[in-house]
Structures are given as C-alpha cells and as structure tokens.
Amino acid sequence: MPRPRSDSVSGWGRVADPGRVVWAERLEAATDGVALLRGLGRSYGDSASPPSDRPVVLATPLADRILAFDPASGLLTAEAGLSLYALNRLLHPRGYFVPVTPGTQFVTLGGMVAADVHGKMHHSAGTIGRHVRALRMRIADGETGLQTLTCSPTVHADLFWATVGGMGLTGAILDVTLQLERIPSPWIEQEVTKHGNLDELLSALQTASATWPSTVAWIDCLRTGAAMGRGVLFAGRWAPADIAPAHSPRWARRGVAFPLESPIDLLTPWTVRIFNEAVYRKQLRARVRGLTSPEQYFYPLDIVKDWNLAYGRRGLTQHQAVLPREAGSAAVRAFLQELTRTEAASFLCVLKDCGDEGGGLLSFPRPGTSIAIDLPVRRDTPAVIARLNAAAHAFGGRIYLAKDRFTTAADFAAMEPRLPAFLEARRRWDPHLRFRSAQSVRLFGDPCEAARPGAR
C-alpha cells in the first residue's frame, strides 16, 4: 500500500503532524526506538501520530504473519500488522470472518484492538475486544527498559482492558489472538428500507436491531424540517446456507483510486446535496431484500480508494458521538439540529444502534445511538467540533478517539468520567509515560518537551 509522506505523519483525515514513520517486520525489537505504533493509519485524527518530542512512529503492516489458525475452533493468532483486507481474502472463502468489522478493511489487527472497533453488528456482537483472547505485548519496564508479556481477560486483566480501546498508550501490541466466527454461508442477506423522517427512521432502526444482527442507517444531514433525518436503513445477516449460492463472492483485488488530491474542496453543500439525493433516490422501492457480498455490505466506501483526497489539501475530520439510550430520540433530533446549523456539508452521516458497553476502560460505544459525520477541515472546524461536543455532552454522550483531531482536553474530560480510571491503569504499567501520542499530549495532558529542532 502506498506510504505516507516521510516528513510528516497524518491519519485518514490528512491533517499533518510533525514526525516520521519507520517500518519493521520485527515489532518486538523495533519498539525500542519509538513512543507509539501505528497500523494502516485509518484513524482520522492524531491517534496514530507521535508526540512532537519523540517524533518517530513505528508502522506495523510489514508484521503480517499468521502464527496459528485452528479451523475447528476458529481461533487465530497473528502479528499485529496483519490487515483485515488480507484476512478476509484468506479465510472468508474458508468459512470464517471476524465477529466485528469496522466500515473499512484497510485496518490492522493491532489498530482494531487499540481502538476497540465496533461495527454494524455492535448491538449483537459488541466491540472487537469481546472476541480477543490474548495479546502479546511489548511494554515499559522501569524508566527506560521494555519487557515482553502476554495479557488476556484472565492474566494481567487490567493491562488487557486498558489496552483494548487504549489507543496504543499502554504499549506495543505484537501478536493478537482472536476468536473468529464460523459463517453459515459466504453471502449476506440484506434488507434495505427507506424512511421519510427521523422518528420513522429511529424506530425502524431499533425494531430492525431486535431481529437483525447487523444494522446501520445513512441519513441526509442537509434536510431540515419535516424531512429531517430522512434516510436509508441497511439490515443484514450472514445468509443461511439454504438460501445462499454455494460459491463464494469474489473479493476485489484493488479499488478504483481517487485520481489526485482535489485542488479545491469538492464537498460543497451542493455536491453533497446531489450525492445524498442520489443515495436516497437510488433506493427506488420502500423495501428491498436480497443477497449481497460482504464486501459490498460491510465496505461500500472501500470501492473508491483514497477517497479522502476529495477533501482537498486541508483534509477532513469526523465527529462521532454516542448519545445514551436514556436521552431518547429527542436527543438525537436536537443533535442533528445542531449539525444542520453548522452548515458543515457531509457526505456521510451514519446512525448506528449501540448495545452493551464493552470491557475496555476507554472503549467508545455504550447503549444508545451513535452519530458520525465527516466534515471538511476549515478555519472554523475547532469551533464546530466544540459545539458538537457541547451538544453531545449535554445529553450525557461521548466521542470516539479514533475519529478525533480537534477536541480540547477540557471537553474530553467532561465527557469521560472514565478517564481517571484509564490513566491510573496506564500509570501502573507505564509510570514514566514512555508510550504517548500526539493525541494523548493534546487530550490527556501528557508531558511533551518542546520539540528540539532537528530531533529525530
């Protein structure tokens, strides 16, 4: 996969931080020189960027070996840099799939664990952390040393749950042992329905989640008034063997690349309006049911590679918040109103029904509704994010670190009563804060000596 530029580091949002990426096959040895690891850089913001005083981050994708796979139990152990892209092509045709997948397959196992990713199946399967059986890690040992150690839900459980969702701040994940799911067929049975307004959509989302293991809704954020929240709901499950063809759908070898960084921001309110209209209109009938491939179902955005280039030089960010179930649909409505007020155009506004909270000390999802929107970066982005955070906070919501670049430490602390418990566990294992990121400096008050000029 093409590598990012060498004099700066950025996430999917392409907002650059100072730093440099190094690559290695042997993560255990290479962790010596760095404060942070990164996978395929699909987190949007600065989660995978190094702190400016130790500006080297170790990229894991060359560490992609599978160390064990038992077809009888579905238990997989692999190096942390193995991508979901490779895993899907290898084991899906054999009848195994990850129990939890995010909306892109260009992620690594290590990145999935560190962000404790969730997917359309959150209400039924939880986050990936629920399915991780063990992590072999390289962690701090004394002031400068490092040690290798294995943790699991039963051994060094506090380290394990601080690492799941801990954004790389407890140490380097070397190998991951993960329980895969045996799938009844290689196809997805999908039902797509169209809903004209928010109340209809939200109640349909909840009803669908009661019977379908996997659900998500795309809504048109530019609609106001009666049509606010009109959108399309996708519900799916692995198709039972008796209704699915025996052959496996083909996995695409490569996506269509977005040609070049756009010189301008293509995502004006007008282009987005046309896109959203097209998504809504494409769905002709109110209800369509049928079989589809997991690639089309789980990764529709992967079809255009590097679509983040469409946002131009200044890049993009995402705001993803979960509003608690108790706050009800009124909260979702109020939040969407705040969104439409920002006039921040967005291709994607995704609603997701979340189930039980996972064991990760900083894991994002909690029971309620998750709302995610992509925003082009502009001068007023920090202010927009602050307003959205204030709205989320007002309803007892919280945000997803893997998407964040612009939240302030004070706002984050206000939304995260769990933060002190996480920081305490992290200090137990890494008292000298050897592992840090640009994000942890920004949000957790980690120390960061002023960057020395020319420091490497």
Partner 1 sequence: MTTPKPQLIAILGATKGMGRALARAAAGRGAKLCLLGRDGDELARSAADLQVRAAAAGHAGPPPSTILCDLEDPLSHAPALLAAEAALGGLDVVVVTAGAFATAAAFDADLGLAGHVLHLDFTCTILFCEAARLRLLERGGGQLVVFGSVAGDRGRKPVGIYGAAKAGLHHYLESLDHRFAAAGLRVLTVKPGFVRTGMTAGLPEPPFAGEPDAVAARVLRAMDRGASVVYAPPIWALVMLVIRWLPRAVMRRVGF
Among residues 33, 68, 142, 409, the one that binds partner 1 under rule CB under 8 A: 68
Identify any residues that bridge with 135 across adjacent strands, giving them in sequence order.
151, 176
**Which amino acid is present at 376?**
P
Q: How many CB atoms lie within 10 A of CB 92?
A: 20
Nearest to 300 by CA among 282, 312, 314: 282
Distance CA 375, CA 319 (A): 8
Q: Which does 62 bind (CB under 5 to 8 A by kind): partner 1, ligand FAD, none?
A: partner 1
Region binding partner 1 by CB under 8 A among candidate stretches 60-68, 220-228, 261-269, 440-448: 60-68
* 355 is a site residue for ligand FAD (CB under 6 A): no
Among residues 84, 91, 208, 391, the one that binds partner 1 under rule CB under 8 A: 91
Nearest to 314 by CA among 10, 25, 14: 14
Residues in region 380-439 near ligand FAD by CB under 6 A = 402, 437
Largest pairwise CA distance in the chain: 65
Q: Which does 60 bind (CB under 5 to 8 A by kind): ligand FAD, partner 1, none?
A: ligand FAD
Q: Which does 3 bind (CB under 5 to 8 A by kind): ligand FAD, partner 1, none?
A: partner 1
* 62 is a site residue for partner 1 (CB under 8 A): yes
Residues in region 71-90 near partner 1 by CB under 8 A = 71, 79, 90
For residues 26 and 282, which CB has a smaller minimum distance to partner 1 in the complex? Answer: 26
Among residues 45, 55, 74, 103, the one that binds ligand FAD under rule CB under 6 A: 103
Cα dihedral 85, 90, 95, 99 sign: negative
Among residues 24, 34, 37, 244, the one that binds ligand FAD under rule CB under 6 A: 37
Structure tokens at 11: 């996430």
Query: Could you give the angle at the alpha carbon of 124 between the alpha carbons of 121 and 297, nearest 5°?
Result: 25
Distance CA 51, CA 440 (A): 8
For residues 190 and 198, is the Cβ–Cβ distance under 8 A? no
Distance CA 12, CA 45 (A): 7
Nearest to 111 by CA among 128, 96, 125: 128
Least distance from C-beta 92 to partner 1, angstroms? Answer: 10
Residues that bind partner 1 (CB under 8 A): 1-3, 6, 20-26, 59, 62, 65-69, 71, 79, 90-91, 93-94
Residues that bind ligand FAD (CB under 6 A): 11-12, 36-43, 47-48, 60, 80, 102-104, 107-108, 110-112, 114-115, 117-119, 167-168, 172-173, 301, 402, 437
